[in-house]
Chain A
Amino acid sequence: MSTIEHTSAERRRDYERSRARRSSASRTADRPDRTRRVRVDASPAPERQKIRFSLLSIGKGLDVPFVLIILALLVIGLTMMFSASYPVAYYERGDSYYYLKRQLIFALIGLAVMIAVSYVDYHYYHRFSALILGVSYFALVLVLILPAQEGGVHRWIGIGDIFGVQASEISKFAIILFLAHWGSRFYDYMNTFKYGILPAAAVLASTAFLLLLEPHYSCIVIISVLTVIMLFVSGIKMKWLAIGGVALVGIILLLWTTGLLTYAMERMDGWGQALVYKDNDQWQQTWQTRNSLYAIGSGGLFGLGLGQSRQKYLYLPEPQNDFVFAIVCEELGLIGAALILLIFALLVWRGVVISLRARDRFGKLLGIGLISHIGLQVILNILVITDWLPNTGISLPFFSYGGSSLLTLMFEMGVILSVSRTSNIEKS
């Protein structure tokens, strides 16, 4: 078989082992599978057949480069999060390993979740897309009822004191899933307003409205961009994107005049002005961003060396969270930062490759949506810490401390891996 000739000995062994397993379990051969699946692609209402998965085998196994990239990011992310967090952990928690221990546990759970999820045939999500959207709405409403967190925002659903999940994390996944589902189901009608725009706009608008009440503006930005990406890839007419753009500007203007942007505006007051002293309030407000810039600038080309950051010593508040990459820049310099960004870029590229080779449109759209989310999050996070975007709370995947967001992330990676099991990457 052509696929076997292009693989390593190890993969070949795995493949043969799984083939032996499969042949002993069932008489079904590859060929009928494949022909049937081709038919599935062509048919708008496919009759799908469950694929047996093997852990790493090509075609039906995990995409190894993608897994390696994820592991690399996870290890580097944990290391840097630890490096950034230990002074804060020491001074504020009395235990230098406070954040590392927790994040490590979530990373291990996350890995397990990722592998587990990769086994789940993503086509199941078709039937859950509406349900998950419903859960998303429920969570968004629930946080509004629950008591507010620090800063008067309603974002977290707590489970005890230990674990909390951001309602917006669910929303982001729910919207990607819903749009992937919709886009694949009505792919041929996506160039119409009724199928292409209306449902997506309704979901986006309603979710954005609820997020506005939290408020959580950065998430609105992310889901809006994600919606646009999904619709774009799903094949809507370009004019709708133009119209959407105009509408967006209109909405922002509307919010501007109604004063609902107060929170964001407060945040934005110091936007881009972190290094210029205007008054005490502004100086205090931009403290975190300014110290982030100090950290980044201190790194120079080669950085101060791993663990050598000075800004993490209580100058940069919460260096383990959104601003962890500032410490990365300080310690590893531009070269280190660029290498990490390269790995992120590889992740995005590999995710897109996986998605494009998915067997069906749902897989393609779901994968593209999820991987775009990661890429978007990375870009926005760094624009925030470099003072090109207002400081609105966008975490850096794999790096920022936070159990629920890491679990969500690993879950999403699992979904992409599940897509990879169906795509025959080597075939193209």
Chain B
Amino acid sequence: MGANQRLRRRTVWLLVIILALGFGAVIARLGYLQLVQGEELQRRAVEQQLSDTPISAKRGTIYDTNGKVLAQSASVWRVVMAPAYFDDDEQRQFVANRLANILGLNEADLLEDTKQNTYYVSVKRKIESEEKEKIIELQQEIKDKYNKTAIISLLDDYKRYYPYSDLASSVIGFTGMDDQGLSGVEFQYNDELTGTPGRIVTAQNGIQTEMPFDYNQNIDAIDGNSLVLTIDETVQSIVEKHMKQAVIDNDVHDRGVCIIMDVNTGEIKAMATVNGFDLNQPYAISEEQQEEIDAIDNDYLIEHDYAEDPSKLSKTERNKLIEKAKSEAEAAALSKNWRNKAVSDTYYPGSVFKMVTLSMALEEKAVDKDDSFFCGGSYQIYNDKINCTGNHGSQNYQQALWNSCNPAFIQIGQKVGMENFWNYYQAFGFSEKTGIDLPGESSDQFFRYDGIEDNMGPVDLAVASFGQNFAITPIQMITAACAVTNGGYLVQPHVVKQILDKDGNVVKNISTEPKRQVISKEVSEEMRGLLEENVINYGGKNGYVAGYRIGGKTGTSEKLIDVNGDGVDDYIASFCGIAPANNPKYACLVFFDAPLAGNYYGSQVAAPVFASIMSEVLPYLNVVAQYTDDELSKIDTTTGSYTGMSVADATTTANADGFNVTVKGEGTTVLAQNPPTGASIPMGGTVVLYTDQESSSEKVTVPSFEGYSVTDANYLAAQAGINVSLTGQVSSSESKAIAQSIPEGEEVAPGTVVTVTFSTEGTND
């Protein structure tokens, strides 16, 4: 074989190896990567090449039933920083300093942040437009000074505003830092309100800045749905106004609750836990609470089992314990503020529950009009002696309700029997949560009688008959009261009426069907009559509202706890009523947990508040008033303007308006009048007309009205030459004046209006 031939042959071999093996392998490898693995590799490449910035969706608005805004999100901004763009410490120092000044942050902390080698540091959230403007100026400054644009940026953010601050706070609830609902409707309907966050997908290069070419994909955020509540802001405001005053007047230890509910639909018109909290500052505690926390000392530590003897501890240890106690007390205070007592707290319903017991008995025909129930002031059942508020003697079941007689109801309960009682207890919805659309609803605490876990005994039945020793929530009580009076239907209480999309279109109407019929229409009708009679003539008198047919029942239940350490167990005063009694529309439950001002009877504490609330709410809700003649005479009318008229004309006009006239002075023209134009005084009140200057200095003395009846008070006022405006329980002959707006002995101009409050003394609940 020739040398050249060998060379040629070997070279050809070499060529084949290089081209076939080498290039072949390379092509095969590329083909595998690009065709087989291509999709996966491309996915991973795209993943790193695209930056995905979330866009917050605007949280939906919460409206009251008439479209008033209760909660709304407004645009704010979030400041973020990309410290990786800093060149040197001088720039870092400058930016940290300016940011600290603008945003009120710690400069040293910010300086630490600027040293991170990242592109995203959240500096501050929820800044408002004033700060935002300053940040924009700072951005410009950084650009001018260092020719850098990406160090500081502003991202959209939202902040929640509650225009009525503490109104319906426990119902509406509040949101957290990330716009998530934390309590109330905000929590319950968080998914509806939140919306869908959008994304901005942009191409970015290896150092996370934007690519020079255009690749931008925006997925818009879908704003959250809005809610229309059944709550009526006006009704809620009326309720809270009266509840707040009552909580102060009665020195209520554990807050008060008022629920107004549509008896037929279950719509909650108002639900107040008083005092609530400012939704705009949910983490603020009241001054009173702060004082209590500040007052934490050694005794508190002993009392609350922090230490057996704090004086033995070292100072630092003691301070540590006090700090711990304070922070725990603060947390407790906050959670107490946020708690919606109307659905989360249980209580013994007391005598209010008697309407339920009697409904069972009537439905089961366990009692008869002729049945007689004897009350000797107490009732002995096994080893327990149950006392009554009075010695009612022999009563039928109607009188038993009106007298709110415990021994009689023990007997009625016994006639119903344990099994029936348990069945109706379930039927009225006490054994299950109502399912109201609010978070944190509690379950009842009751003896069971379901054949599986029987632990209800005769004594339990006896006390349960008049509402003691089992606990239910206020919302369960009012729902049952609706069933008693609305024809027997157990309705679904709810606070949200409609869900609207971001454009205001209705997404969902929430109408709820009654869950079931518990008692017959006839029994319900009879109960309405009994409850109305109770308000007109018996224990519920203080709940009467002039012009309206009110039915209701008072309740004074034992808490069996001594909340204030005075050695006496405290009470819950409550009143549950409906209006109008012939054709109920609204039910209202008023409830005070431990009034400590001395008076704790439902009839004394809760019923007058019920009456005050309903007297404003019912006209607002267009429930037509029908006054008796007697009532008409006591209804306030607005005075007209008589000034400038001749005495004769003024007298005629005032008389036509329904007022008596007293003319002071010798002139012929009326120069001034008292009460002034637009004042509210009862029909038949006196308007004083002044015809000259001298007479206007004349004064009269305000008498003491306290203890007088309505008629006497009117007489006294006429004698003194002043007007009285009558409030409270004015329809009952037993009513006595308990307060007056201008104190006795004050010198006032003739015709001045003094508001006098009346109440009855009844305690039979």
Contact = CB atoms under 8 A, between A and B. Distances in A.
Contacts of A344: 23
Interface string B7-28: 1101100110011001101110
B6 interface: yes
Interface string B539-576: 00000000000000000000000000000000000000
B30 A334 contact: yes
Given A355-B11, A356-B8, A379-B23, A296 B34 contact: yes
Interface stretch (B98-106, B110-118, B203-211, B682-690): B203-211
B41 A352 contact: no
A123 interface: no
A310 B3 contact: no
B29 interface: yes
Interface in B38-86: 38-42, 44-46, 48-49
Interface in A272-302: 275, 291, 293-301
A338 B23 CA distance: 9
Interface of B: 3-4, 6-8, 10-11, 14-15, 18-19, 22-23, 25-27, 29-31, 33-35, 37-42, 44-46, 48-49, 203, 205-207, 211-212
Interface in A181-220: 187-188
Given A310-B49, A313-B206, A368-B11, A300 B38 contact: yes
What is the interface of chain B mostly: helix, strand, loop, or mixed? helix
A315 B48 contact: yes
A382 B24 CA distance: 12
A348 interface: yes
Contacts of B39: 297
A234 B8 CA distance: 10
Contacts of A291: 45
Contacts of B45: 291, 294-295, 297-298, 310-311, 315
A189 to B, nearest CB: 11
Nearest to A300: B38
Given A337-B30, A338-B27, A87 B205 contact: yes
A209 B148 CA distance: 51
Contact of A375 (B22, B27, B33, B211): B22
Given A233-B10, A386-B29, A334 B15 contact: no
A382 B26 CA distance: 7
B14 A372 contact: yes
Given A294-B41, A334-B30, A383 B19 contact: no
A125 interface: no
21 contacts: A87-B205, A291-B45, A296-B34, A297-B39, A297-B41, A297-B45, A298-B45, A301-B34, A310-B49, A310-B211, A311-B45, A313-B211, A314-B205, A341-B23, A348-B18, A349-B19, A378-B26, A382-B26, A386-B29, A386-B30, A386-B33
A379 B33 contact: no
B35 A314 contact: no
Interface of A: 87, 91, 187-188, 229, 232-235, 275, 291, 293-301, 310-311, 313-315, 329, 333-334, 337-338, 341, 344-345, 348-349, 352, 355-356, 361, 364, 368, 372, 375-376, 378-379, 382-383, 386, 388
Contact of B7 (A333, A364, A388): A364
Nearest to B6: A235
Contacts of A300: 34-35, 38, 42
A235 B3 contact: yes
Given A233-B10, A314-B207, A329 B41 contact: no
B206 A345 contact: no
- Give the dominant DSSP class at A's interface: helix
B11 A352 contact: yes
B14 A368 contact: yes
B546 to A, nearest CB: 80
Name the 3 nearest CB pairs between A and B, nearest first: A297-B41, A314-B206, A313-B205
B138 to A, nearest CB: 26
B34 A299 contact: yes
A314 B7 CA distance: 48
Contacts of B46: 298
A375 B30 contact: no
Given A299-B38, A344-B23, 20 more contacts: A233-B14, A294-B41, A297-B41, A298-B46, A299-B34, A301-B35, A311-B49, A315-B48, A315-B49, A338-B30, A341-B23, A341-B26, A356-B8, A361-B7, A364-B11, A372-B14, A375-B18, A375-B19, A378-B26, A388-B29
A297 B48 contact: no
Contacts of B6: 235
A349 B11 CA distance: 11
Nearest to A381: B26
Given A297-B42, A298-B38, A334-B35, A383 B7 contact: no
Contact of A232 (B14, B26, B207): B14
A212 to B, nearest CB: 25
Contacts of B7: 233-235, 356, 361, 364
B18 to A, nearest CB: 5
Contacts of A91: 205, 207
B37 to A, nearest CB: 6
Nearest to B4: A361
B677 to A, nearest CB: 80
A60 to B, nearest CB: 22
A291 B35 CA distance: 17
A348 B19 contact: yes
B18 A376 contact: yes
B203 A310 contact: yes
Nearest to B205: A313
Contacts of A382: 26, 29-30
A131 B18 CA distance: 30
Contacts of B18: 348, 372, 375-376, 379
Given A235-B3, A297-B38, A341 B27 contact: yes
B37 A297 contact: yes
Given A87-B205, A188-B3, A296-B41, A379 B14 contact: no
Given A294-B44, A386-B29, A187 B3 contact: yes
A300 to B, nearest CB: 5
A194 B244 CA distance: 114
Contacts of A310: 45, 49, 203, 211
Given A298-B45, A315-B205, A386-B29, A345 B38 contact: no
Contacts of B37: 293, 297
A235 B11 contact: no
A345 to B, nearest CB: 5
A338 B29 CA distance: 11
A308 B754 CA distance: 88
A121 B49 CA distance: 53
Contacts of B14: 229, 232-233, 352, 368, 372
Nearest to A297: B41
Contacts of B44: 275, 294, 297
Nearest to B34: A334
Contacts of B40: 297
Nearest to B50: A310
Contacts of A356: 7-8, 11
Nearest to B204: A313
B8 A296 contact: no
Given A297-B37, A348-B19, A361-B7, A329 B30 contact: yes
Contacts of B22: 375-376, 378-379
Contacts of B34: 296-297, 299-301, 329, 333-334, 337
A348 B20 CA distance: 12
A89 to B, nearest CB: 13
A311 B206 CA distance: 8
Contacts of A293: 33, 37, 41
Contacts of B38: 297-301
A310 B8 CA distance: 46
Contacts of B8: 356
Contact of A297 (B3, B10, B33): B33
B96 to A, nearest CB: 27
